[in-house]
Amino acid sequence: MAILVFIEQKGGLVRTVAREALGEAVRLAATLGGPVVGVCAAAADPGLAALGEAGASELLLATHASFGHYEPAGYARAVVAAVEKVKPAVVLFSASAMGRDLAPRVAARLGVGLAADCTGLAVEGGRLIASRPVYAGKAVQRVAFTGAPALVSLRPKVFAPAPAQNGGAPAVTPLAIEHDPAAARARVLEVRTGSAGKVDLTEAEIIVSGGRGLKGPENFAMIEALAAALGATVGASRAVVDAGWRPHGDQVGQTGKTVSPKLYVAVAISGAIQHLAGMSSSRCIVAINKDPDAPIFKVADFGVVGDAFEVVPALTEAVKALNARG
Amino acid sequence: MLQVVCIKQVADTETRVKVASDGRTLDPTAVTWILNPYDEFAIEQALRIREAAGAGEVVVLSLGGAGVQTTLRNALAMGADRAIHLKTDGAPPEPLQVARAIAAELKGLDARLLWFGKQAVDDDAAQVPPMVAELLGHPCVTVVAAITLSADATQAVAEREVEGGREVVEVTLPAVLSAEKGLNEPRFASLKGIMAAKKKPIDEKAVTLAPPALEVVSLALPAARSPGRIVGQGAAAVPELVRVLREEAKVI
Ligand SMILES: Cc1cc2nc3c(=O)[nH]c(=O)nc-3n(C[C@H](O)[C@H](O)[C@H](O)COP(=O)(O)OP(=O)(O)OC[C@H]3O[C@@H](n4cnc5c(N)ncnc54)[C@H](O)[C@@H]3O)c2cc1C
């Protein structure tokens, strides 16, 4: 049976999260069998044939002039049409902002279960089992599905994108759907982008976050400098956001963003459970804190006990020196 | 204008997690139950809309065991007019079951705005609001960080947070909205509100849930991250930190 993957695009480009979902679909197909089929909704083909390399054997494309932006009703219709056509055993989404909104709509239309924001998938006795963090990351719930298809959304940056393989050029098949944007009762008027050129926290490879121990908003210049040297995005604890030092969009944690970068540097952050909920699935965690008993050291791979005002500038210089050496 | 705010009682995030003897659920013994923090933003916004209009009704609705009535009272104390309790045996349902039961109840009400928190901080599923919208055939805007209602209350313009920006969405009522932190600053219940809440009605309705679409196989504590290493003290530790990040972790 097939595995269907929702191919998320933005501005006419396939997003990395879609490649991650394809990567997991290819791994699942090794045990569950079946072709990996992609479904995409877009204003025009975002270069889907290139996904053959990522393991897709067929791509279904629903186009509409209004699909340049996320259009919930139309996108949901496209995925449902693909499900009816392909009859997959599993449908994978990314738990991105779009996937978080879209997947439950598809689940309700199909009347099937959805396991959201998963960090692991396994096949046991022929059954798909999805693992998902719950209770602020303090426990992991494993769920099975009572019907088909099984819908799953995957936490961004947790699953490895599909490696390039020698897949042929897959067929890109138009998917006919009825969609009348005039009848849609919700429509995107505009998309306001935040700070230009800034990589979003949920997509960043490296994040440097600052906490209340930095004592004031002006001291984030030091965090910005380290982030610039590392090519990182700046994050913050809630204490900092509540104090108005940083915008809410920068907050990492349970009531902020859930991130899984390859490197997370926590500077002067104590490591409260609600902060850990948002970053403990990062691949490598570095903590810089003057308190050797700070809970952040319990989850950090590498720690430096010391004053951020000394350690951070020294680290920035060392990284710059490393960059200069190439 | 009738607004319904769907709220959930959740375990406080400070709760120490202990797995129950069934190996699948949270042991409720030492749990402090609270109103889901995101739902507070939803309640607050509904109250502000009612207050700005100078008329209308805000109904809070919750599905769960007998215990959820304390959370409904909290919402009534904030200023909601009345409550509906969809009473279950208390066993934790999965999202589609919840959405179906709530949609069935909402079908009978002529609510113009159906509010939710963007997700519940216990299972973080974020599924019920869009599911309810689909089941009712209503439009839905999730993760709403700002909202303006048109003067005739037939339309709203909502801003939702997405990666790297905000989507500005125009939506026609009746609509389902889910609230993000930052939408407003929720009020605290006043003493007067708490007293008044005691007299406000809670309409208790027994519900039988549809069969579950998901089955919890197990609940377990996460695999502990292998204990980290303090690479050193102060600025002197920087060369070693850079070395391990480059050579061992290979992340820079
Ligand atoms: C429902 C709920 C949701 C929440 N959601 C979130 C969330 O999404 N994200 C989040 O972050 N928090 C969240 N919190 C808040 C959380 O509980 C903590 O209060 C918060 O994370 C603390 O932020 P902090 O670590 O920056 O500050 P603090 O806890 O005050 O820690 C400051 C740290 O800085 C260190 N320090 C001080 N000076 C220096 C120095 N010169 N050099 C080095 N280190 C120094 C101190 O040793 C200390 O460890 C939530 C709380 C609740 C109740």
Q: Could you tell me the CATH number of the domain that includes residue B141?
A: 3.40.50.620
Pocket probe mutation, ligand 1, options A219, A274, A298, A312, max atoms within 8 Å of Cβ:
A274
CA–CA min distance A45, chain B (Å): 22
**Ligand 1 proximity of A294 Cβ (cutoff 6 Å):** yes
| Residue A124 maps to a domain | yes
Instruction: Please check whether residue B125 touches A, CB under 8 A.
Output: yes
The whole-number pLDDT of residue A162 equals 80
With cut-offs at 50, 70 and 90, classify the pLDDT of residue A195. Answer: low
User: Which of the residue ranges A184-188, A233-237, B54-58, B143-147 would you say has the lowest mean pLDDT?
Assistant: A184-188
The whole-number pLDDT of residue A184 equals 86
The residue of chain B nearest to residue A277, with distances taken between CA atoms, is: B13
Condensed to tens digits (0 to 9), the pLDDT of residues B39-77 reads 999 999 999 999 999 999 999 999 999 999 999 999 999
CA–CA min distance B197, chain A (Å): 28
Non-local (6+) Cβ contacts of A254 within 8 A are A136, A274, A275, A277, A278, B13, B121
With cut-offs at 50, 70 and 90, classify the pLDDT of residue B30. Answer: confident
User: Is the same domain home to A176 and A206?
Assistant: no
Number of domains in chain B: 1
The whole-number pLDDT of residue A193 equals 83
- For residue B77, what are the CA distances in angstroms to A86, B48, B188? 51, 15, 9
Instruction: Please check whether residue A73 touches B, CB under 8 A.
Output: yes
pLDDT > 90? residue A302: yes
Shortest CA distance to A186 belongs to which of A308, A299, A286, A74? A74
Higher pLDDT pick, A39 / A184 = A39
The whole-number pLDDT of residue B91 equals 87
User: Is the same domain home to A271 and A227?
Assistant: yes
User: Is the same domain home to A150 and A12?
Assistant: yes
Q: pTM score, two decimals?
A: 0.93
pLDDT > 90? residue A109: yes
| Residue B213 maps to a domain | no
Is the N-terminal amide bond of A149 cis, ω within 30° of 0? Answer: yes
For the sheet with A263-267, list strands across it: A233-236, A206-210, A263-267, A284-289, A302-305, B229-233
- Which of A248, A280, A311 has its CB closest to that of B235? A311
Last residue of a domain, one of A134, A150, A183: A183
pLDDT > 80? residue A306: yes
Condensed to tens digits (0 to 9), the pLDDT of residues B207-219 reads 999 999 999 999 9
Give SS3 for A138.
coil
Measured in angstroms, how far is the CA atom of residue A104 from the centroid of ligand 1?
Answer: 33
Neighbours of A165 (CB within 10 A): 10
Pocket probe mutation, ligand 1, options A207, A220, A255, A304, max atoms within 8 Å of Cβ:
A255
User: Is the same domain home to A17 and A117?
Assistant: yes
CATH code for position A237: 3.40.50.1220
| Contact present, A167 and A62 (Cβ < 8 Å) | no
User: Is the same domain home to A34 and A179?
Assistant: yes
pLDDT > 80? residue A9: yes
pLDDT > 70? residue A197: no
pLDDT > 90? residue A180: no
| Residue B31 maps to a domain | yes
What tokens were used for B1? 């204008």
| Residue B229 maps to a domain | no
| Contact present, B73 and B34 (Cβ < 8 Å) | no
Neighbours of A324 (CB within 10 A): 7
For the sheet with B175-179, list strands across it: A186-193, B165-172, B155-162, B140-149, B175-179, B113-117, B2-6, B57-64, B82-87, B202-206
Q: Which domain holds residue B156?
A: 2-206
Instruction: Please check whether residue A87 touches B, CB under 8 A.
Output: no
Q: CA end-to-end span of chain B, whole Å?
A: 56
User: Is the same domain home to A319 and A215?
Assistant: yes
**Ligand 1 proximity of A219 Cβ (cutoff 6 Å):** no
Measured in angstroms, how far is the CA atom of residue A210 from the centroid of ligand 1?
Answer: 9
User: Is the same domain home to A65 and A205?
Assistant: no
Last residue of a domain, one of A183, A217, A247: A183
| Residue B223 maps to a domain | no
| Residue A26 maps to a domain | yes
The residue of chain B nearest to residue A109, with distances taken between CA atoms, is: B134
Ligand 1, closest atom to CA A240? 26
Query: What is the percent of chain A with per-residue pLDDT over 90, rounded to a whole number?
Result: 87
Determine whether A185 is exposed, middle or buried from the number of CB atoms within 10 Å of its CB (0-12, 13-18, 19+).
Answer: middle
CATH code for position A112: 3.40.50.620
pLDDT > 90? residue B117: yes
Neighbours of B90 (CB within 10 A): 12
What tokens were used for B10? 């959740």
With cut-offs at 50, 70 and 90, classify the pLDDT of residue A207. Answer: very high
Helix (H) or strand (E) holding A227: helix A220-230
**Ligand 1 proximity of A311 Cβ (cutoff 6 Å):** no
* AA letter at B203: D
Q: Which residues of A line the annotated binding site for FAD?
A: 212, 237-238, 251-255, 289
> CA A37 to CA A15: how far, in whole Å?
16
User: Is the same domain home to A209 and A279?
Assistant: yes
Atom 30 (ligand 1) nearest CA: A212
For the question of an ipTM over 0.90, the answer is: yes
The DSSP bridge pattern shows strands B9-11 and B165-172 to be: unpaired
User: Is the same domain home to A241 and A158?
Assistant: no
**Ligand 1 proximity of A256 Cβ (cutoff 6 Å):** yes
The whole-number pLDDT of residue A210 equals 98
User: Is the same domain home to A40 and A157?
Assistant: yes
- For residue A139, what are the CA distances in angstroms to A110, A282, B124? 29, 16, 12
**Ligand 1 proximity of A289 Cβ (cutoff 6 Å):** yes
Annotate B191-214 with DSSP letters as a single string.
Answer: HHHHHHHTTS-EEEEE--PPPPSE
Long-range (24+ apart) CB contacts under 8 A made by B161-165 are B161/A97, B161/A249, B162/A70, B162/A97, B162/A98, B162/A191, B163/A96, B163/A97, B163/A200, B163/A202, B163/A203, B164/A193, B164/A194, B164/A198, B164/A199, B164/A200, B164/A203, B165/A191, B165/A192, B165/A193, B165/A194
User: Is the same domain home to A95 and A175?
Assistant: yes
> CA A136 to CA B90: how far, in whole Å?
21
Interface of A with B in 12-41 (CB under 8 A): none
Condensed to tens digits (0 to 9), the pLDDT of residues A132-166 reads 999 999 999 999 999 999 999 999 999 999 877 76
Q: Which domain holds residue A208?
A: 201-325
Give SS3 for B217.
strand
- Cα dihedral sign, A85-A89-A94-A99: positive
| Residue B240 maps to a domain | no
Dihedral through CA A279, CA A285, CA A291, CA A292, nearest 10? 130
| Residue A279 maps to a domain | yes
Pocket probe mutation, ligand 1, options A241, A250, A269, max atoms within 8 Å of Cβ:
A269
Give SS3 for B218.
strand
Number of domains in chain A: 2
With cut-offs at 50, 70 and 90, classify the pLDDT of residue A292. Answer: very high
- Which of B171, B217, B228 has its CB closest to that of A129? B217
The whole-number pLDDT of residue A263 equals 98
Dihedral through CA B169, CA B119, CA B180, CA A262, nearest 10? -100
| Residue B53 maps to a domain | yes
- For residue A234, what are the CA distances in angstroms to A158, A194, A221, A229, B234? 20, 13, 10, 12, 22
With cut-offs at 50, 70 and 90, classify the pLDDT of residue B223. Answer: confident
DSSP state of B226: P
| Residue B181 maps to a domain | yes
User: Is the same domain home to A226 and A295?
Assistant: yes
**Ligand 1 proximity of A211 Cβ (cutoff 6 Å):** yes
Q: Residue holding tokens 């791994």?
A: A27
| Residue B85 maps to a domain | yes
What tokens were used for A187? 């429509």
H-assigned helices in chain B? 37-53, 68-78, 95-107, 128-136, 191-197, 238-243
Instruction: Please check whether residue B168 touches A, CB under 8 A.
Output: yes
| Residue A209 maps to a domain | yes
* AA letter at A40: C
Condensed to tens digits (0 to 9), the pLDDT of residues B142-161 reads 999 999 999 999 999 999 98
